[in-house]
């Protein structure tokens, strides 16, 4: 799982997803929510962990609209599965990935 | 195609976006930035109290001194070092420093297509272009290197051939302005991020002179043993290698050469001596046919604006092919309008030559869509635009005619009939290691050579 902090405006998402598409790298799951006053967003990307992922991350870091790139090893694929079951099957929601830790 | 693009939503944003776009375009690896201005924004009126400061390149963080120390140690400890220069050396204005480093370290220099001109072509350490259409000497020498110092180069597949077998005996040090390039294709033992000129200056401060007579002699020996193979001028004056060599003789040393993309581009890279940085403007990784003529017009315009450089007789030459020139031939109207000293040389083989060459060598001579059934009369086309047009007669004294045509001032288009089936050699087959070059003589006996 990769977490991005990005500028929130039209076109930002297409810059990011376009980079993955051009490199033939699949995005398994994606979550994007605005933060604070809405000038920035946080994005969670579920991606396959293969060697060329590092190059994708470096290219992401070069995008003007991407403010920060970091790994989220604490979140796995079950996060998105739980989210899908919440919205479609009435299961309890997953833990907020950005809740301040105690 | 662009480093970034902005979609402007309100006119007020433009005072921020325009300087920012210039900052992004000029920072790091320079490149274009697009600003998309919708019609309602274009027509809007805004009040501005002060103009924003123009945008300039953001300063680069300095490279840590201990990495430069480590690089100096690696160079000193190596026995067979090679400098592998890319276009970044020219962009950084670091060509002279790179040459000084080569001399200090007794390191032969190989260049990518984009780095040609960084090192004088007659320098004893210059090994020419590496890779797919590099000489055998260059690619063989790379096999023997124990240290490869890449500067502003990106290990493109045209340069490396089969990556796993590129420079098999060398440890690699890589100096680049873009951190994403370090280790992207080949694992490196040392990566330095920053401005090439700054880093090379600091490196030279701490690098003593090193004599490697055996290694220098090995490079010179390989060069002497494996020159470019082509028929002699008297026998075949319009062989493209002979034409490029003649251009090197008759064009002034400060000529700016531009090319399109294809066989003619590789012949220029192999045989035309690019004598200074930015002396060759060509489309590298993007391989943009149609680049040459607009680039030549741009270069001639820039020269005419720099006082003192627009010396009489100074020329911009655009070597193109009969395929490439058709991509932007409408720019002959611009050339006629501006009356700039641009000579367009069309290497005319009535084919998309590099496509045809690949079909011949790697697709069992199953030619498809690579031959022009109808070839325009380019001299007549030029005249129709109001530009002097000349077709060189292959049966007379074509090189004298060519030299005389180039000596006349003003814009011109010169149509040069070359062999339809001439190939660019040596050639590394796609996917093969660089040492597995094929050459003309291996394909056909010397006796049947045209």
Distance of residue A55 Cα from the nearest chain B Cα, in angstroms: 7
Size of interface A-B (CB pairs under 8 A): 21
ipTM above 0.90, yes or no: no
**pLDDT of residue B296 exceeding 90:** yes
Closest residue on chain B to A58 (Cα): B180
B9 to chain A: closest CA residue:
A10
Nearest to A65 by CA among A11, A2, A1: A11
- State the nearest Cα–Cα gap between A66 and chain B, in angstroms: 12
Task: Show the tokens assigned to B162.
Answer: 């089969």
3-state secondary structure of B72: helix
pTM for this prediction: 0.93
Contact between chains at A59 and B180 (C-beta distance less than 8 A): yes
The answer, for B4 touching chain A at a CB cutoff of 8 Å, is yes
B-chain CB neighbours of A63 within 8 Å are 4
Nearest CA in chain A to B29: A62
List chain B residues with CB under 8 Å of A56. Answer: none
In whole angstroms, what is the distance from residue B98 CA to residue B149 CA? 11
Contact A59 B4 (CB under 8 A): no
Mean pLDDT of B381-400: 97
How far apart (Å, rounded) are the C-alpha atoms in residues B257 and B274?
A: 8
Best probe of the A interface among B29, B33, B180, by most A CBs < 10 A, is B180
At B314 the pLDDT is 67
Tell me the per-residue pLDDT of B270-289, one tens digit each, with 9 for 90 and over: 999 999 999 999 999 999 99
What is the mean predicted confidence (pLDDT) over B207-236? 96
pLDDT of residue B450: 37
Q: Chain A: residue nearest B25 by CA?
A: A64
Span A85-95, pLDDT tens digits: 888 888 888 88
Mean pLDDT of A61-65: 95
- Per residue in B118-129, pLDDT (tens digit) is 999 999 999 999
Band (pLDDT 50/70/90 cuts) for residue B444 is: very low
Q: Is the pLDDT of residue B158 over 50?
A: yes
Mutate to test the interface with B, among A9, A14, A58 (most CBs of B within 10 A): A58
B446 pLDDT tier (thresholds 50, 70, 90): very low
pLDDT at B43 over 60: yes
For residue A54, give how far its alpha carbon lies from the nearest alpha carbon of chain B (Å): 9
pLDDT in tens, B30-42: 999 999 999 999 9
Chain A residues whose beta carbon lies within 8 Å of the beta carbon of residue B26:
none
What are the tokens at B14? 């433009």
**Looking at residues B12-24, what average pLDDT do you find?**
97
> pLDDT value at position B449?
38
B311: confidence class by pLDDT, cuts 50, 70, 90: low
| Cα distance between residue B43 and residue A44, in whole Å | 39
Phi, psi of B280, deg, nearest 5: -130, 120
**Residue numbers of B between 175 and 234 with CB closer than 8 Å to A:** 178-180, 184
Mean pLDDT computed over B74-95? 98
Q: Mutual orientation of helices B196-205 and B65-77 as an angle, nearest 10°?
A: 60
For chain B, the average pLDDT equals 94
Cα–Cα distance for residue pair B20/B60, rounded to 1 Å: 16
Q: Which of B3, B5, B179 sits opposite A58 (nearest CB)?
A: B179
List the one residue out of B275, B260, B65, B29 whose CA is nearest residue B153.
B29
Q: What is the per-residue pLDDT for B213? A: 98
From chain A, pick out residues whose CB is under 8 angstroms from the CB of B4: 15, 63-65
Provide the 3-class DSSP secondary structure of residue B449: coil
Cα–Cα dist B379/B391, whole Å = 6
DSSP state of B395: T
pLDDT confidence of residue B19: 98
Of B24, B178, B179, the CB nearest to A64: B24
The residue with tokens 């993007």 is B286
Across the interface, whether the CB atoms of B9 and A10 are under 8 A apart is answered: yes
Say which residue, B78 or A101, is predicted with more confidence: B78
Is B4 close to A64, i.e. CB distance below 8 A? yes
**Residues 293 through 352 of chain B touching chain A, CB cutoff 8 Å:** none
> Once rounded to an integer, what is the mean pLDDT over residues B26-51?
96
pLDDT digits (tens, 9 = 90+) for B191-203: 999 999 999 999 9
Of the ranges A24-28, B124-128, B210-214, which one carries the lowest mean pLDDT score? A24-28
Name the interface residues of A facing B (CB cutoff 8 Å): 9-11, 15, 55, 58-59, 61-65
Q: How far is A56 from chain B (nearest CA, A)?
A: 9
Residues B27 and B33: their CA atoms lie apart, in Å, by: 11
Q: Which residues pair with B412 in a beta bridge?
A: B343, B388
Q: Which residue of A has its CA nearest to B178?
A: A62
| B window 13-42, beta carbon within 8 A of A | 24
Return the residue of A nearest to B23 by Cα: A64
Tell me how close the Cα of A16 comes to any Cα of chain B, in angstroms. Answer: 12
Is the pLDDT confidence value at B313 over 70? no
Residues of chain A in contact with residue B24, where contact means CB-CB under 8 angstroms, are 64
The reported pLDDT for the residue numbered B443 is: 44
Tell me whether the omega of the peptide bond preceding residue B444 falls within 30 degrees of 0, making it cis.
Answer: no
């Amino acid at each position: 799982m990769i977490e991005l902090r990005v500028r929130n405006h039209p076109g930002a998402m297409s810059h990011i997803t376009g980079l993955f598409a051009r490199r033939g790298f699949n995005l398994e799951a994606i979550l994007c929510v605005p933060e604070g006053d809405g000038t920035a967003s946080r994005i969670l990307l579920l991606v396959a962990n293969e060697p060329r992922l590092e190059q994708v991350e470096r290219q992401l870091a070069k995008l003007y609209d991407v403010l920060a790139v970091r790994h989220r090893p604490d979140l796995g694929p079950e996060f998105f599965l739980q989210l899908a079951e919440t919205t479609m099957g009435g299961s309890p929601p997953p833990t907020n990935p950005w809740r301040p830790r105690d | 195609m662009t480093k970034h693009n902005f979609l402007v939503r309100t006119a007020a944003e433009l005072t921020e976006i325009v300087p920012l776009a210039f900052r992004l375009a000029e920072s790091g690896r320079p490149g274009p930035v697009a600003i998309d201005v919708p019609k309602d924004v274009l027509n809007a009126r805004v009040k501005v109290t002060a103009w924003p400061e123009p945008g300039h390149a953001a300063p680069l963080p300095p490279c840590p001194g201990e990495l430069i120390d480590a690089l100096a140690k690696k160079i000193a400890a190596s026995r067979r070092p090679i400098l592998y220069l890319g276009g970044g050396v020219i962009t950084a204005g670091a060509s002279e420093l790179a040459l000084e480093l080569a001399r200090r370290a007794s390191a032969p220099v190989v260049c990518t297509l984009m780095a040609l001109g960084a090192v004088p072509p007659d320098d004893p350490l210059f090994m020419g272009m590496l890779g797919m259409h590099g000489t055998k000497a260059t690619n063989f020498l790379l096999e023997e290197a124990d240290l490869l110092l890449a500067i502003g180069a990106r290990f493109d597949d045209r340069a490396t051939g089969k990556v796993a077998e590129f420079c098999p005996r060398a440890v690699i040090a890589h100096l680049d302005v873009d951190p994403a390039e370090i280790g992207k294709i080949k694992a490196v033992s040392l990566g330095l991020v920053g401005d090439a000129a700054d880093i090379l200056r600091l490196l030279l401060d701490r690098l003593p002179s090193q004599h490697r007579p055996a290694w220098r002699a090995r490079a010179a020996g390989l060069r002497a043993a494996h020159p470019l193979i082509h028929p002699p001028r008297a026998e075949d004056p319009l062989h493209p290698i002979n034409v490029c060599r003649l251009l090197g003789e008759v064009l002034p040393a400060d000529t700016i050469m531009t090319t399109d993309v294809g066989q003619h581009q590789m012949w220029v890279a192999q045989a035309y001596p690019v004598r200074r940085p930015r002396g060759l403007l060509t489309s590298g990784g993007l391989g943009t046919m149609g680049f040459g003529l607009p680039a030549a017009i741009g270069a001639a315009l820039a020269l005419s604006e720099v006082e003192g450089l627009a010396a009489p007789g100074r020329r911009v030459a655009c070597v193109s092919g009969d395929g490439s020139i058709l991509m932007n031939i409408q720019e002959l109207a611009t050339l006629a309008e501006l009356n700039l000293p641009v000579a367009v040389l069309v290497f005319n083989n009535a084919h998309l030559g590099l496509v045809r060459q690949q079909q011949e060598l790697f697709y069992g001579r199953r030619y498809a869509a690579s031959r022009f059934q109808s070839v325009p009369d380019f001299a007549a086309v030029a005249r129709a635009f109001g530009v002097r047009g000349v077709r060189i007669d292959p049966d007379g004294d074509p090189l004298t005619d060519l030299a005389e045509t180039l000596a006349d001032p003003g814009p011109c288009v010169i149509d040069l009939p070359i062999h339809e089936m001439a190939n660019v050699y040596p050639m590394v087959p796609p996917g093969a290691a660089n040492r597995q070059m094929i050459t003309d003589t291996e394909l056909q006996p010397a006796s049947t050579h045209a």
